[in-house]
Amino acid sequence: MGKMSVNLCGIELDNPVIPASGTFGFGYEFAELYDINMLGTFSFKGTTRDPRFGNPTPRIAETPNGMINAVGLQNPGVEKVISEELPKLKKCFNKPVMANVSGFSVEEYVYTCEKIDKCDQVGWIEVNISCPNVHGGGMAFGTTPEGAAEVTRAVKAVTTKPIIIKLSPNVTDIVSIAKACEEAGADGISLINTLLGMRIDLRTRKPVIANKMGGFSGSAIFPVAVRMVYQVAHAVKIPVIGMGGVSSAEDVIEMMLAGASAVEVGAANLIEPYACKNIIEDLPRVMEKYGIENLSDIIGGVR
């Protein structure tokens, strides 16, 4: 066991650094740049039952220290992910990968998770519950404890791998939602998904993004993420993955002090393709600077 290793729901990671879903594709673009086996793992592109093109463009807007995206879960659908993407990934990544699953109804989550659960390459299933429930008036599953628990329970009933529920920060009481997921059988919690944001072009007076609103990410949201990770990690017993604006080894350590067992890196990968490699290589220096012997010792260590 190395000084940087951590345990995530029973699976050992060489280090806690995990590229976040939607910022790392299925890994190949990055495998051309560096050996992605140095990562703890990575969370692959959000996968749905059916293929999706996503939203119209423009899908991207800039913000101070961050960005807004409204990609809209573009993905080839679970069948193609299993038949094409995973075999391709096998050639450049030999660790268990984290599958990221989205859905617009409980049945869709169940269908996709059940299929993904049978893939040997998959170590964990991260379930994104920030999507609107088409049968529930369009409210996102993750905005109520009941909705979050319903998805968790249904997915747990058809899977064997650890289920990590990825929470939306666009709620009034994230702790109650995290607790509801834990009670419904979740093996872990990851947070935060993007914050709902919007930009307006002064010249055209139109929203910059065609979808009007989108998910706000990047270093600007880091303090919000640290706060929510702290609140949730101190309220549940299951492991928490912290994410939101992480872009340095110092940020990884701060997230872990707040209570994260592992840390996802999102928008930083898009700006700096070597972001995760740089963070992993910088961690030993920062650990030494702050007198940290083993990273796993500092989880939730905020005083």
Partner 1 sequence: MKQSIFTIKENVALTSNVYRMLLEGDTGAVTNCGQFVNIKLDGLFLRRPISVCDCEGNILTLIYKVVGKGTEQMSQMIEGDTLDVLTGLGNGYDTSLAGENPMLLGGGVGVPPMYMLCKKLISEGKKVSVVLGFNRADEIFYEDEFKALGADVTVTTVDGSYGVKGFVTDVMKNADYSYFYTCGPEPMLRAVYNTSTTEGQFSFEERMGCGFGACMGCSCKTITGYKRICKEGPVMKKEEILWEK
| Active site residues per annotation | 131
Contact positions with partner 1 (CB under 8 A) in 42-81: 45, 53-54, 56-67, 69, 71, 74
In angstroms, the CA 266 to CA 269 distance is 6
Q: Rounded to an integer, what distance in angstroms lies between the CA atom of residue 267 and that of residue 69?
A: 10
Q: Of residues 2, 10, 12, 33, which one binds partner 1 by CB under 8 A? A: 33
Least CB distance from residue 53 to partner 1, whole Å? 6
CA 296 – CA 279 distance, rounded (Å): 17
Query: What are the Cα distances from residue 33, in Å, to 22, 36, 234, 284?
Result: 18, 9, 38, 22
Instruction: Tell me how many residues contact partner 1 (CB under 8 A).
Output: 36
Residue 137 φ/ψ region, left for φ over 0, alpha for ψ in the -120 to 50 degree band, beta for the rest: left
Q: Which stretch binds partner 1 (CB under 8 A): 23-31, 95-103, 157-165, 186-194?
A: 23-31
Distance CA 148, CA 167 (A): 9
Piece of the chain touching partner 1 by CB under 8 A; list 6-14, 109-117, 187-195, 271-279 = 271-279
Return phi, psi of residue 68, to 5°.
-120, 135
Tokens describing residue 53: 């093109």
- Minimum CB separation of residue 30 from partner 1 in Å reads 7
- Indicate the residue among 29 and 288 with the shorter CB distance to partner 1: 29
Contacts of 202 (CB under 8 A, 6+ apart): none
Stretch that binds partner 1, among 107-115, 143-151, 249-257, 264-272 (CB under 8 A): 264-272
Binders in 208-227 for partner 1, by CB under 8 A = 208, 218-219
Q: Shortest Cβ distance from residue 58 to partner 1 (Å)? A: 4
User: Using CB under 8 A as the criterion, which residues of the chain lie in contact with partner 1 when the complex forms?
Assistant: 22-25, 29-30, 32-33, 45, 53-54, 56-67, 69, 71, 74, 208, 218-219, 267, 269-274
